[in-house]
Structure 1
């Protein structure tokens, strides 16, 4: 009898524990920005640059050279070439690192350098770093220091929801790479076939590489308790070009709102044109209002998103649920046709460019660890504009009439996906 009476109590306790774990696991992190921004300067105003340096930090550093790399056929040879040339250190943080042909090439290159005496550190996301056990053992047995970011235990299962989404590779503390690409065969090729994702990555030289290294060192410290320092990681950096740039980061509990703030300030400060390439675009009400307000003051807004070749259909539905006010205001939404579109680039007033790992959604703004590279340079912005136009020619524009003519079931499914958009 006593056992029967205790059973409901035990079930209730178990249900309470499960509910508490779910609340922790699905927490969106720091409070997101929910107020309308006042527009008091433009992108070209020196105050904009000062604001970005003070609020986001660090200050924009002069003397950089940032080169775009398009799709796997350019990205992977450049990254592998830099790794193979390493003499002192390699620091590599990535969300996606999968087994496969390109994954094996990176494993081989990293282990060869470690055997040669180079200090090699690889930080993988616990969910996204899906190398098989044999490859992981091969890395570790050959001297590569491999760690998982936020490995969950029973007492911290909420960390499952906090992923490192950063894509950072720094070689000898002097040459860096960042952008949208993951280490997987999906990114091979030229982005013009459904099986080959379209993406952009960036090779970086100059003082801003120090910002990239600092971002890696911070998460390596969080994962291992080890501080990386000295000339092998932080050598003196000379000017390599003429571009001003900064790398800044965001993470839950440590400035998660920084990414959202950067995007909202950039949109609010736009005077002429905003061009955005977005792999995952699920704007909240504040972002929608900021984009609509930009159009109403005469700013042209063009957004390229994935089309039918999308890895997460539920994300497309959640995105589509937000399009009504944007399309009615005159925001141009285009869907890329040839393949999955994974580029993450924002160009504002042909002067300010932000690239990196961040998606335009609540997960990137509040839950993930992210890192973006901002470049304040007209020629670089012009070059990115030209790439954007190439993608635009391979895209189809979505009309308001098309959006409004969706069937009742599609509208219901889109609205349902929007309810859970913070977890997508």
Structure 2
């Protein structure tokens, strides 16, 4: 939770409590944990963790398990089971929350848990959920005793562009989910014109759950004024240093540093053999674009997998094609995912360090939205993600500069016009 105590606001919320003492211990043990990571098998790749602690105060945690969940068909059954087994609290934070058959099933589970005494809190983004979520659904949950509120209501004009793009669930302060999947039946079926929905999420237990709990508690306090920084929501765990090392990296428009962007830059800089990236959009800022191109020009195997189109007519896909040209000319292998709609947001470096999160490779995710990524310092899990990446390649076609330049001038001009809006897409 210390990672989110900007300007001392949250420090005051825990002042005089047991959490204050635990926060001090967390601070004190970070130098030793960071040194242990660098001195171990992770070597120089562990310096990413040192950078993220320095810039974002993202604590490095060791006592964790992580399960990679590919697609909603893997995440949703795990999540519904964990929700049904909740005993004390359920905290859900999502960009998109729909009213559909899947979320009606979720509503039924949550209403039964409220009857059993479980506290349920939901934050949804009203922009992401605008055409998906009905007032009757919200009223039904509220009438049952579930606290469900929008993050940054659309009538707050001064925060209209600052969206919560996170997809986080925390159950009893002991199990958490984070990644790219929202709460909608669309993720099971795919949008119109697609055969499905391709995405990546993670289920975690251990120390890092408390950091994800603090992400929710911070946003909840900002929206409702209720202080969730209480011991009951942050259960202590026995000390264990043998799990998966993970950092929860969060960033937003109020962050001093663009920490998620910095994590990508640091991982690219430390790469020695290959870098695999996945994102529906490809709208990097100049520094990230140069880093990707420089490593490809230096002979590294740099591959980026993107969505060539979406279920909606977003100019972001058109702008991405102009960046794909620049990347491909520098030797970056740009892969266009076909069939299902592509929505994964991952990066893997040299089979050593990786990340799963909500942030796209675009300026909005790195500077404007509220985002959360899990940075994973584990060879086995990174190799698992790389194996999944290589499996995804079977559904891709390589981007061709020659084919793109043969398209009608009007089409390419429209792409270039979309690129002018890149900072807002």
| Cα contact 2:337–2:396 (8 A) shared by 1 | yes
CA 1:248–1:46: 2 relative to 1, 3 Å: closer
- Tell me what 2:36 maps to: none
How far is 1:201 from its partner? 1.1
Residues of 1 paired with 2:353 and 2:56: CA distance? 15
Normalization by structure 1: what TM-score?
Answer: 0.85
Residues of 2 paired with 1:409 and 1:421: CA distance? 19
Q: How does 1:249-398 map to 2 (within 5 A)?
A: 249-255=250-256, 257-398=258-399
| Cα contact 1:199–1:341 (8 A) shared by 2 | yes
Residues of 2 paired with 1:312 and 1:249: CA distance? 29
How far is 1:310 from its partner? 4.6
- Tell me what 2:244 maps to: 243
- Tell me what 2:58 maps to: 58
Q: Deviations over 1:44-85 (max 9, x none)?
A: 344333223322322321121110112121111111111110
| Cα contact 2:355–2:374 (8 A) shared by 1 | yes
Q: Deviations over 1:213-240 (max 9, x none)?
A: 1111111111111111334310013459
CA 1:46–1:422: 2 relative to 1, 3 Å: closer
Q: How does 1:85-96 map to 2 (within 5 A)?
A: 85-96=85-96
* RMSD (Å), alpha carbons: 2.0
**3-state SS of paired residue (2:62):** strand
Residues of 2 paired with 1:45 and 1:75: CA distance? 29
| Cα contact 2:97–2:182 (8 A) shared by 1 | yes
Q: How does 1:137-156 map to 2 (within 5 A)?
A: 137-153=139-155, 156=156
Q: How does 1:127-206 map to 2 (within 5 A)?
A: 127-129=127-129, 130-153=132-155, 156-188=156-188, 194-206=194-206
Residues of 1 paired with 2:73 and 2:254: CA distance? 37
- Tell me what 1:122 maps to: 122
- Tell me what 1:27 maps to: none
- Tell me what 1:215 maps to: 215
**3-state SS of paired residue (2:140):** helix
How far is 1:328 from its partner? 1.1
| Cα contact 1:62–1:243 (8 A) shared by 2 | yes
Residues of 1 paired with 2:314 and 2:229: CA distance? 43
Q: Which runs of 5+ in 1 are unaligned?
A: 1-41
**3-state SS of paired residue (1:161):** coil
- Tell me what 1:224 maps to: 224
Matched, 1:97 2:97: yes
Q: Which runs of 5+ in 2 are unaligned?
A: 1-41
Q: Which aligned segments of 4 or more residues in structure 1 are displaced greater than 6 angstroms?
A: none
Say which one has the larger Rg. Answer: 1
How far is 1:161 from its partner? 0.8
How far is 1:183 from its partner? 0.9
CA 1:311–1:390: 2 relative to 1, 3 Å: farther
- Tell me what 2:70 maps to: 70
Count of aligned pairs between the two proteins: 380
| Cα contact 1:279–1:305 (8 A) shared by 2 | yes
Residues of 1 paired with 2:342 and 2:406: CA distance? 25
